[in-house]
Structure 1
Amino acid sequence: MDEIIKDYLHFLLIERGLSGNTIKSYHQDLEEFANYLSNKSINNLNDVNSLIILDYMKSMKEHGKARNSIIRFISTMRKFFKYLLRFHYIKNDPMVKIDTPKQAQHFPSVLTIKEVDKLLSVPNTNDKYGIRDRAIFEVMYATGLRVSEMVHLKMDNLHLEMGIIQTLGKGDKERIIPIGTQAIKWINFYISNSRSKLLKNRRSDYLFLNAHGSGLSRQSIWQKIKRYVSLAGIKKDVTPHTLRHSFATHILENGADLRIVQELLGHSDISTTQIYTHISHEHLNKSFNKYHPRA
């Protein structure tokens, strides 16, 4: 099973051209399922039937796996067993009898403008790390970049004199994003006062650096946000993606067209962007209920 999974992941990388993060998710699902089969003493993939799949899904639920994680598992298995059938590892596909549960509707957490201002004001900007962190948060909120796009942002992606930056999003799709004056100010301040101190005579193409002069990881940005959110006294569950959600919601609330938001976020399908209209409607309802005398 380990060798088959390894071959399949190689197939996804070479033949399908999937991203590293997507392949990592597939690997996790397949590895956990392989462990389950091993514990049940099932060593032949031809012995896997729909009842075994359903039993595993039941155990996932009992172990507290979210509905969307189970849906992702089913998607992974559908593709995996199609691959096995195509290359004659199995005779029958057990996934044909498995229905996909309806996806749980999840509205992402969003910060208010006041909360964003509070978060941005927390880093100590008399310190090289604080200057860097303030610049990171300013750019994330100003552009709606994914955290993976942030950590891969390079110096030659900046075109600050034109007020734009370049980024490579999902599927290696390039997009050009306008960036506001506040974020430009903090990028320039970071480059002038902090980046060279972090480099310490080394070289790096990446814009945002760690204490060793190398590019930051997604985990390190996640940890920084958690720490600063706590210091700001914000009680919401905030992740790097929360700043992206807040960016999209706030520009919609201020009158931006949904198609523009789709372009800025790099969504291939506008239905992905439409979740933000629900958040904006919720905001409108709250405002109406609070301020209208007949509400």
Structure 2
Amino acid sequence: MKEAYTQQLSQFIQYLKVERNYSHHTIHQYESDLKEFLQFLLRENIHTIGDVQYFEARVYLTELYERKSARNTVARKISCLRSFYKYFMREKQVIENPFSLVHHPKEEKRLPQFFYEEEMEKLFTICQGTEPLQQRNLALFELLYATGIRVSECAGIQLNDLDRSRSILLVRGKGNKERYVPVGSFALDAMESYLSHARPLLMGEEKHSYMFVNFRGKAITTGGIRHILNDIVTKASINEKIHPHMLRHTFATHLLNNGADLRSVQELLGHSHLSSTQIYTHVTKEHLRNTYMAYHPRA
């Protein structure tokens, strides 16, 4: 890549880290999208980002569609590039934003996948055991379901973040926003067993304050949590590949199905906007419709 492009990319990424305080995952995604766009400029023999006009933006958009990119992916890339040019307009390195007039494709409405309560019971049964890793897995699974926290938030939990006497957990979410979430009795019991017995055995000679650890005693990663969850689902013979947010979706859906109000669920999930939480109402409506169709005599 051209040195000028490399410097501009580095400058923008630094801006996202320092001024916007974006999460590691979001920054990684922006960096990947921008590298792809800058490679496109090189193929098109465009030497500076200021030379890009609306026509070139449309050509890039066409290339994305020809690659069969999903609409949500295209929308994300357009949003990223708008931010990129908006920043360099602010820095007076470009005159106009070629992506300001490029329209976002309509997002695909995908309902969140979740586990039914019967499936959750089966998964909890699979987690039972007296071995240190089994105790850790149960504590991990119980906590994710009890709190609805993101996998990335779970990986970052420190020992002092859990107040067992008050049954609350301090969670550091996106943009380092902090929130407190209640922890249910089942999760607390599992955490007590893990912290008292399993974690000291797994830690060995390691010394750190991360709550969840791998079999070597090191802080667990988001990838490690994903692997554990997939292993639990496979052992339960549930024909489903778990994704990072699935227990979060299950947490929200079960709360709403059992009568929780939307504002409370929004606060528990750490959503800035109610619209982010409202997608779960579509899931619960679909659940009600399926129940109606299955049991009403004249459905």
Please tell me the TM-score bracket, short chain as reference: over 0.9
Of 253, 258, 261, 1:254 maps to: 258
Cα-to-partner distance string for 1:124-149 (whole Å, 9 max, x where unaligned): 62321121111101100011010011
Q: Which residue of 1 aligns with 2:225?
A: 221
Q: Which residue of 2 aligns with 1:185?
A: 189
Q: Which residue of 2 aligns with 1:123?
A: 127
Q: TM-score, normalised by structure 2?
A: 0.94
For the residue of structure 2 that corresponds to 1:122, the secondary structure is helix
Structure 2 unaligned segments of length 5 or more: list them: none
Distance 1:50 1:100 in 2: 14
Q: Which residue of 1 aligns with 2:25?
A: 21
Pairwise mapping of residues 59-208 of structure 1 onto structure 2 (< 5 A)? 59-123=63-127, 125-208=129-212
Distance 2:212 2:91 in 1: 44
Distance 2:45 2:233 in 1: 47
Conserved in 2, the CA contact under 8 Å of 1:109 and 1:236? no
Q: Which residue of 1 aligns with 2:39?
A: 35
Asked if residue 245 in structure 1 is aligned to residue 249 in structure 2, the reply is yes
Conserved in 2, the CA contact under 8 Å of 1:109 and 1:237? no
Cα-to-partner distance string for 1:205-239 (whole Å, 9 max, x where unaligned): 11100122121111111122222212212123421
Distance 1:227 1:253 in 2: 27
Aligned-pair CA distance for 1:150? 0.3
For the residue of structure 1 that corresponds to 2:112, the secondary structure is coil
Q: Which residue of 2 aligns with 1:276?
A: 280
Cα-to-partner distance string for 1:71-110 (whole Å, 9 max, x where unaligned): 1111111111112222232233211331111222111111
Distance 2:100 2:283 in 1: 36
Conserved in 1, the CA contact under 8 Å of 2:75 and 2:105? yes
Distance 1:27 1:147 in 2: 22
1:136–1:9 Cα change, 3 Å? same
Q: TM-score, normalised by structure 1?
A: 0.95
Q: Which residue of 1 aligns with 2:13?
A: 9
Query: Quick one: which amino acid aligns to residue 159 of structure 1?
Result: D
Query: Quick one: which amino acid aligns to residue 191 of structure 1?
Result: L
Percent identity of paired positions between Structure 1 and Structure 2: 37
Conserved in 2, the CA contact under 8 Å of 1:160 and 1:184? yes
Q: Which residue of 1 aligns with 2:297?
A: 293
Cα-to-partner distance string for 1:254-278 (whole Å, 9 max, x where unaligned): 0111111011101111111111111
